[in-house]
Structure 1
Amino acid sequence: MTHRVAIVGAGPSGFYAADGLLRGQPDLKIDLIDRLPTPFGLARSGVAPDHQGTKAVVRQFERLLAQPDVRFAGNVEIGRDLSWDELCEDYDAVVVATGMVVDRKLGVPGEDLPHVWGSWKFVAWLNGHPDFRHGPDLSAVRQVAVIGNGNVALDVARLLAKGPDEMARSDIVPEAGDAIAKAPLTDIHVIGRRGSEHASFTNNELAEMGRLGRAVALADSAELAVDASATGPTPERLRKAKNLEILRGFAANKSGSKPLSVHFRFNAAPVAIRPGEIELACGKLAADLVITCIGYHGEEFPRREGVFAVGWARHGPTGTIPTNRADSHAVARDVLAWLGKRDPKSGPDPLPRSIDAAGWHRIDKAEVAAGSAHGRPRVKFADWKALLEIARGD
C-alpha cells in the first residue's frame, strides 16, 4: 500500500505541491480536486487573457496530469460532494490549495453600487469563468476608475485600453472583447491611495502601458517629485526607481494624442462612491465604472493535523505564479515528513463521480478548435452545462 494525498484546488500552487510530493515520494497517489470541470485555476481564470506567455505554465502541469498516479477530479465541490471531515478520514494527508478568490472591500460608502466591480470578478468574466458569465454593462461607460497600484490594476486598465487588434491573439471570451471594443471609453484613471514611490507595479508591466496602440499613458509630474526609498533590499529600491523613471516618461506624453487616455493618479484615497462619480481625498472624479484591485481573501478551511495549506491559501495573495513554486515545494516536504511517520490508510476510493483528465482534454480540444477558426489560442466555453456535456462526451 502507498499513501494517498488529496490536493484541494487544481491551480498552480496545487500542481506545484503535487510536483514537490512526487519528487520526494514517486509512488504517492495524488488526487487533484477542483470544483470547476477545468484545471489550472488562476492560470486559466485569473491571468490576463493577453498575457499568453504567463499562461503557458500550464504545459508543465499537463505533464503532471499524464502521470499514472495523479488524478484530476473536476466538478467536485467540498461541502457539496465531499466534506472536509470525509477528506481527512479517507486520505493520509490533505493539501489546501484553494487560493483567494473573494474581492476585498474598500470600506467606503457606495461600494455596493452595481457599477462597482472587484478585479477578481471582472478578470474572471474576461477569462470565461463559468461563475461569471455576465460582466458590467459597458455600453455607456466613458470614464473608468481603477482603484489599486499593483499589477492587477495595470491588467484591468490595459485590457480596457487595448483595441481589438491588440487583443486578437488573446483568449478573452468573445462577448467580453466585443463589449470592450464597443464601449465609448475616453479615460481610465489608475488610482493609488499612497504616493507614486509606494506603487507596487513591476517595471515591465508598467512600461507596457506606454506601448498601447489606442491609449496614451499620462501622469502628473508634480506627483512624481519624490525619491525612491534609500532603504530596503536593493532589487526593491531599483524597482521603485525604475517605476518613477517610467512614470516621468508618461508625464511627458501629450494628452489627447490618442483616442483613449490612461491617467496615473496618486495620493488619492477613495472616500465615497456615487452613481457616476467617485469622491477621492483630493477631490471628485467622474466614473461610470469603478473596479477595485486591492487584494482578495479566501474561504475558511479546517486547521488540524494532516491538513496543509499552500500558496495564497497559506500566506495570502502575494507573489506571482512562479514564486509560489518554492512555497509549495517547501510545504510538500512537510507533508512527506508527516506521511513518513504514519502507515497508509486503507479503504475504498473516496472520490465521487467527477470530471477526469480525459474529460478536461475533451474541453481543451474543443476550445482550441474553436479558437483556431479565429486565429486565437482558444475560445473558452463559459457555460457550466456546455462544459459538463463536452467533458462527458455528450
Structure 2
Amino acid sequence: MCLKNVNVYIKEADLATSPADKEEMRNSRIKRRVYELLSKAATVHQENNDNDRKELHFVFFRKPTKFLPSEDGSTVGAMELEKTLLKDDGATGKQVAVGTGEFEELKCGIVLKSIGYKSLPIEGLSFDKYRGVVPNLRGRVLSSESETATVEPGLYVVGWLKRGPTGIVATNLHCAEETVDSILEDDRKGLFTDPSGPKRQGRRGLLEILEQKNARYVPFDGWEKIDTKEKADGELKNKPREKITRWNELLEAAREG
C-alpha cells in the first residue's frame, strides 16, 4: 500500500491476531496478503515525520449505526459506531463481526459510502437478514441459520449472497472455487444420481427449457466473441480490455462473426 505523501495509521490492537485469526490466514492467501499489506502500511509512516503529509486512519472493529447532525443541523456532524468483536459463526467455522452494545461517536463533516449491495432474500430459501446471506456450508445451501440446519440437496450459492458484500476480485475467485469444489465433491459422491429416477438431461435439457421460455441467453461461443471484442477494443486504448457495459451491445458482440 503505497500512497504518496500520506501517512497510514492503524491501532496496534486492531492488528493483534488471535489463534483463530492465524488459522484463517493460514487457510486463505488473500486474507494473509491483506494483513501483510496493512501491517506494512502501519509502520512505514514512522519513518516519515514531515508535517505536510496527509494522514489516513483505518478504524477496525466498528460498525456504523447512524449519522448524527451537525450543531446547526445543515450537514452531518458525526457517526455513531458500535464496537464489534470477531466470533465464530457456528456454521462455517469462520469468524464474523458481532456488536458488543458499546457505542462511540466519530466526528466528521462528510461521509463516503464504499460497500457492496446487500442481497435480498429468495423465496423458498432461508435467509440471514442481518448479514444479507443465504446460510451455507462452503457454498452448500443450508435449511436454516440454526446449528441443527441440514444441507439442501442440489442447491448452491456463490458471491455476495453467499458471504455478504465483502472482498475484492480475488475474493470472488476464491469464493467461486470453493462452491465449485463442493459441487464436484457431491457429484463424485453420486448425490446427483438417482438410479430409480428419470435420466437427467443436463445441458441439453437446460437449453430446451430456455428455448421454451424464449429466454435470451449467450452460449459459450458467444462469450468468447465478447471476450475477443473487449480485448481488441482495449488494445486500441492501451488497456488489457475495454468492458462492454450495455446489455444490447453485449448481445450484438455475441452475435458478431
TM-score by length of 1: 0.36
Alpha-carbon shift at residue 327 of structure 1 (Å): 3.7
- 5 Å-filtered alignment, 1:50-129, equals none
1:349 to 208, 222, 227: 208
Distance between the aligned counterparts of 1:389 and 1:326, measured in 2? 33
Q: Is the 8 A contact 1:370 1:379 kept in 2?
A: yes
Indicate yes or no: 2:114 matched with 1:291. Answer: yes
Letter in 2 for 1:367: E
Q: Is the 8 A contact 1:270 1:279 kept in 2?
A: yes
Distance between the aligned counterparts of 2:59 and 2:14, measured in 1? 14
Q: Is the 8 A contact 1:368 1:378 kept in 2?
A: yes
Q: Deviations over 1:342-393 (max 9, x none)?
A: 3314678222342222322222222111110121111112122222222233
Corresponding residue number in structure 2 for 1:384: 247
Letter in 2 for 1:350: I
Letter in 2 for 1:285: C
Q: 1:245 to 1:382 in 2, by over 3 A?
A: closer
Q: 1:376 to 1:262 in 2, by over 3 A?
A: farther
Q: Is the 8 A contact 1:228 1:241 kept in 2?
A: no
Q: Which has the higher contact order (CA 8 A, sep 6+)?
A: 1
1:300 to 122, 125, 129: 122
Q: Give structure 1 stretches of 5+ with no counterpart.
A: 1-208
1:371 to 234, 248, 253: 234
Distance between the aligned counterparts of 2:239 and 2:65, measured in 1? 41
Give the fraction of aligned pairs with identical amino acids, expressed as a percent: 22
- 5 Å-filtered alignment, 1:32-47, equals none
2:8 to 218, 222, 227: 218
Letter in 1 for 2:163: G
Q: Is the 8 A contact 1:217 1:250 kept in 2?
A: yes
Q: 1:371 to 1:257 in 2, by over 3 A?
A: farther
Answer with 1 or 2: which has the greater Rg.
2
Q: Is the 8 A contact 2:234 2:242 kept in 1?
A: yes
Corresponding residue number in structure 1 for 2:90: none
Indicate yes or no: 2:58 matched with 1:264. Answer: yes
**Secondary structure of the structure 1 residue equivalent to 2:66:** strand
Q: Is the 8 A contact 2:77 2:109 kept in 1?
A: yes
Distance between the aligned counterparts of 2:252 and 2:23, measured in 1? 49
**Secondary structure of the structure 1 residue equivalent to 2:210:** coil
Distance between the aligned counterparts of 2:39 and 2:229, measured in 1? 45
Aligned residue pair count: 180
Q: Deviations over 1:121-156 (max 9, x none)?
A: xxxxxxxxxxxxxxxxxxxxxxxxxxxxxxxxxxxx
Q: Is the 8 A contact 1:219 1:250 kept in 2?
A: no
Q: Deviations over 1:261-304 (max 9, x none)?
A: 532134654343364554242331122532236x8435415459
Answer with 247-256 or 383-392: which moved more. Answer: 247-256
Report the aligned-residue RMSD.
4.1
Letter in 1 for 2:241: R
1:232 to 1, 8, 20: 20
Distance between the aligned counterparts of 1:237 and 1:357, measured in 2? 36
Q: 1:215 to 1:391 in 2, by over 3 A?
A: farther
Distance between the aligned counterparts of 2:12 and 2:55, measured in 1? 18
Q: 1:264 to 1:254 in 2, by over 3 A?
A: farther
Where is the strand percentage greater, Structure 1 or Structure 2?
2
Q: 1:364 to 1:323 in 2, by over 3 A?
A: closer
1:360 to 223, 227, 243: 223
Q: Deviations over 1:39-95 (max 9, x none)?
A: xxxxxxxxxxxxxxxxxxxxxxxxxxxxxxxxxxxxxxxxxxxxxxxxxxxxxxxxx
Q: Is the 8 A contact 1:359 1:391 kept in 2?
A: yes
**Secondary structure of the structure 2 residue equivalent to 1:350:** helix
